[in-house]
Amino acid sequence: MNISVKIGNVVLANPVTVASGTFGHSEEMYQAKEVRCLGAIVPKTVTLHAQQGNPPRRMCEVAAGMINAIGIENPGIDAFIATKLPKLKKIGVPLIVSISAHSAEDFVLMAEKLNVADGVAAVELNLSCPNLQKKVLVAQDAEATAAVIRQVKAVTRYPLIAKLSPNVTSIVDIALAAESSGADALSMVNTFAAMAIDVKKRRSKIGNFTGGLSGPAIRPIAVRMVCETAARVKIPIIGMGGITCTNDALEFLIAGATMVAVGTYNFINPRAPLEILEGIRVYMKENKMTDIRELIGSIQR
Amino acid sequence: MSDILKSYPVVALKQVSPVYFRLAFAAPGLARVVKPGQFIHIKVSEGFEPFFRRPFSVYRAHDGIVEIFFEPVGKGSRLLTSKKRGDTLDVLGPLGKPFTPPAAGIKQIVFIGGGIGAAPFMLFSDRIKVHKAEKLLLYGGRSKAHTFSMTDFKKNGVRVLTATDDGSVGVKGRVSELFKEIRLAPATMIYTCGPRPMMAAVQAFAKVHDLRGEASCEEVMACGLGACLGCSIPTVHGYRTVCHDGPVFGLNELVF
């Protein structure tokens, strides 16, 4: 059975990964032999300089999900490369490094730093950051998205994955802009802008006032977005949004995603990615499939 | 992960006061390795309601049995009160940084617990039974309903002083009212766990008397593993996660 997939020129052993920010920073809690089973891992997004993150409370639970506004707390790319990367590399699983910046110049600077680092399989651009010129997120602006991808693509030696925000009118338009400017793959989707209110205090439950909704609550919307986009782009999609079990992951694969990422549910069941990997194998066997490509995009219309 | 994520059978659920419960489950491996101050993260329901796991400190751990002590105030802990003998409990743990055991030279150990915050001190006093220091528990509860039998603490050689907000048991007022009841020894170590205002008062008291101490914090948690960075609190070193950098912090590290 062949379940290997390709992102750019990199071959990954299987289609199961994790969403950034849901797995990294706790390498020691996982056994290397378990993590090595995954297709790839994506540590928490890093930025050019260290960020201390948002004031508490940084998250709250809601029906079938959570809202978070962590604020990309991270040690900065230099410290990441010096201290985190060597440990992650030692696990022996392909590493997709997620980076974010406020300008194309900073994205380029980070991509150049990663070029001389060791142990990176691919780079993911977290484009859900404010575009300082336009007061919207880069990921909400097709031109800004294209500009960042074009400039990073010009310097990076790694396959480039663009992580898209669902908080747009037409995610297909953004996806097409990303593809035509050189993205090798798409990660979709990031969290949905949301808030929850403590009615006793009449205050937002989130210190940052608003945050991003993730978890099973968003899955049907994410599946629809992946399905619509997969029909229009040729590059692979890493599908994510509320995946908790094999069935959820299969929905994304059938919709057209080449890979699936478990995000928020890692917090509830840290073993979910491994269970899903096994579940995909079982499903393929039951359906007499020998290649994952028979499953990807197999939605009947 | 396979070491710390397991299902265990429930052995008993006991109501120990009008508001407090103890839940015991059979977990020999966990009982052996869990340290005082560490917590376990329980998935209380099969579905997504509530969505997060719930963190509980360990009250006792011996003879293959682990016990938690809780007050069913939210939808997560309320669900636990319906557990019966033989039900399974999906547990992630032990997690977090434990209390530092008292050094041999410590002459007096003062546990200061508010409500269910006293829970980890039961396990702690079990584990340091042989330590020669004088041991005290200053316990604060809202009312008589928020007090419970202190026999097990006493069996461990811990002298218990109680304060209740309404004066229905012990001294009337906050647990800080009990500070003046204790005669401090030259080498005192404080361990505290409870509501943040209480721990802030303990920090102030320790500062005035130049006492060393540790505090165990509680926050809403998602992962419990230091991955999501959702439970961060301000400390003198910047934001730190309660689940992974804590829950036990140096008393003077906390910023209230």
Interface pTM, i.e. ipTM: 0.94
List the single residue in A with minimal CA-CA distance to B231. A58
Of residues B2, B225, B227, nearest to A31 (C-beta): B2
With beta carbons under 8 A apart, name residues in chain B contacting A34. 1-2
- The pLDDT value recorded for residue B1 is 60
With beta carbons under 8 A apart, name residues in chain A contacting B4. 29
Task: Assign residue B113 the CATH number of its domain.
Answer: 3.40.50.80
- The pLDDT value recorded for residue B24 is 98
Among residues B220, B228, B226, which one has the least CA distance to residue B246? Answer: B226
| Confidence band of B185 (pLDDT split at 50, 70, 90) | confident
How many CB atoms neighbour CB A144 within 10 A?
A: 20
Residue where a domain stops, chosen among B95, B120, B136: B95
| Confidence band of A135 (pLDDT split at 50, 70, 90) | confident
pLDDT at A283 over 90: yes
Residue where a domain stops, chosen among B95, B122, B153: B95
pLDDT at A25 over 80: no
Of residues B53, B224, B238, nearest to A52 (C-beta): B238
Strands (E), chain A: 5-7, 10-12, 16-18, 59-62, 65-68, 96-99, 122-126, 130-131, 136-137, 160-163, 185-188, 192-194, 197-198, 203-204, 211-214, 237-240, 259-262
Looking at the structure, tell me whether residues B133 and B22 fall in a common domain. Answer: no
pLDDT at A134 over 90: no
Residue A136's identity, in one-letter code, is: V
Among residues B56, B63, B54, which one has the least CA distance to residue B23? Answer: B56
The number of helices, as runs of H, and strands, as runs of E, in chain A is 9, 17
Give Cα separations from B11 to A110, A243, B88, B122 (angstroms): 54, 33, 9, 19
**Known catalytic residue: A60?**
no
Q: What percent of chain B has pLDDT over 90?
A: 96
Q: Longest C-alpha distance within chain A, in Å?
A: 56
Q: Can you identify the CATH homologous superfamily of domain A5-54+72-192+215-294? A: Aldolase class I (3.20.20.70)
- The pLDDT value recorded for residue A27 is 54
Q: What is the pLDDT of residues A219-257, one digit of tens each?
A: 999 999 999 999 999 999 999 999 999 999 999 999 999
**Residue A62 contacts B where some CB pair is shorter than 8 Å:** yes
To the nearest whole number, what is the mean pLDDT of chain B? Answer: 96
- The pLDDT value recorded for residue A129 is 76
Residue A15 in tokens: 């289609």
> Which range has the worst mean pLDDT, A84-93, B25-34, B236-245?
A84-93
Q: Is A10 helix (H, G, I), strand (E, B) or coil?
A: strand
* A15 φ/ψ angles, rounded to the nearest 5 degrees: -90, 15
Looking at the structure, tell me whether residues B128 and B213 fall in a common domain. Answer: yes
Of residues B230, B233, B234, nearest to A59 (C-beta): B230
- Contact call for A64 and B48, based on CB within 8 A: yes
* B71 φ/ψ angles, rounded to the nearest 5 degrees: -120, 120
Q: Do residues A281 and A295 make contact, with C-beta atoms less than 8 angstroms apart?
A: no
pLDDT at A174 over 80: yes
Residue A72 in tokens: 């990309």
pLDDT at A131 over 90: no
How many CB atoms neighbour CB A204 within 10 A?
A: 18
Looking at the structure, tell me whether residues B35 and B141 fall in a common domain. Answer: no
Q: Do residues B254 and B192 make contact, with C-beta atoms less than 8 angstroms apart?
A: no
Q: What is the pLDDT of residues B15-69, one digit of tens each?
A: 999 999 999 999 999 999 999 999 999 999 999 999 999 999 999 999 999 999 9
Task: Assign residue B38 the CATH number of its domain.
Answer: 2.40.30.10
Residue A190 in tokens: 């990031």
Is B163 part of a structural domain of the chain? yes
Looking at the structure, tell me whether residues B64 and B188 fall in a common domain. Answer: no
Is B68 part of a structural domain of the chain? yes
Looking at the structure, tell me whether residues B141 and B56 fall in a common domain. Answer: no
Q: What is the mean pLDDT of residues A142-146?
A: 96
Q: What is the mean pLDDT of residues A47-55?
A: 95
| Confidence band of A34 (pLDDT split at 50, 70, 90) | confident
- The pLDDT value recorded for residue B173 is 95
Looking at the structure, tell me whether residues B120 and B84 fall in a common domain. Answer: no
Q: What is the pLDDT of residues B216-234, one digit of tens each?
A: 999 999 999 999 999 999 9
**Domain span at residue B70?**
5-95
